[in-house]
Amino acid sequence: MMDRAEKLALLEASLTRAAEVLGDVTPHVMTLYYARHPGAAASFEHHGLGKTAALEGEMIENCLYCLMYCLERPTEIEILLENSVPHHHFTLEVPLDWYQGLVDAAIDVMAGTVPADATAEQQVWAEIRERLGAIFTGCRDLLPEDAATALS
């Protein structure tokens, strides 16, 4: 079993590799995200107020922050998401599935650069996905029953 320091070192190596292989991850994540949630593109255009790319970049930065610190500071990330998800739902009309979908797309893009034989690194990404998934499951309880469903 890996200790926290080992996990953080593997995560850092993984993030560095992804940056070296992909450069700016934003277009990679957004392409995957929009393929999975096509209705979200109009929401980004609406909320971007003519600066859609800037909003996409900001949201990817937020996702990466959650990915980078969910192992090291899980309570902080839980509080961040428990405040952000309802705001996005009630104020911005962004369903939880879209929000979680963006985080999932970021995980998939980053983890997609991990070599097949790097099992410890793959385990770290699996743990990140599990931890963030559990937080999103908790966020569902903060919303009305049908609120998590994507609009399209």
Task: Give the model's confidence band at 149: pLDDT under 50 very low, under 70 low, under 90 confident, else very high.
Answer: low
47 CB-contact burial (10 Å; exposed 0-12 / middle 13-18 / buried 19+): middle
- Looking at the chain, list the stretches that DSSP marks H as alpha helix, in order from N- to C-terminal side: 4-22, 26-36, 40-48, 52-69, 74-90, 96-111, 119-140
Taking 50 as the threshold, does the pLDDT of residue 13 lie above it?
A: yes
Taking 90 as the threshold, does the pLDDT of residue 90 lie above it?
A: no
Residue 15 CB coordination number (10 Å): 16
Task: Give the model's confidence band at 145: pLDDT under 50 very low, under 70 low, under 90 confident, else very high.
Answer: low
14-24 tens-digit pLDDT: 999 999 999 99
Task: Give the model's confidence band at 129: pLDDT under 50 very low, under 70 low, under 90 confident, else very high.
Answer: very high
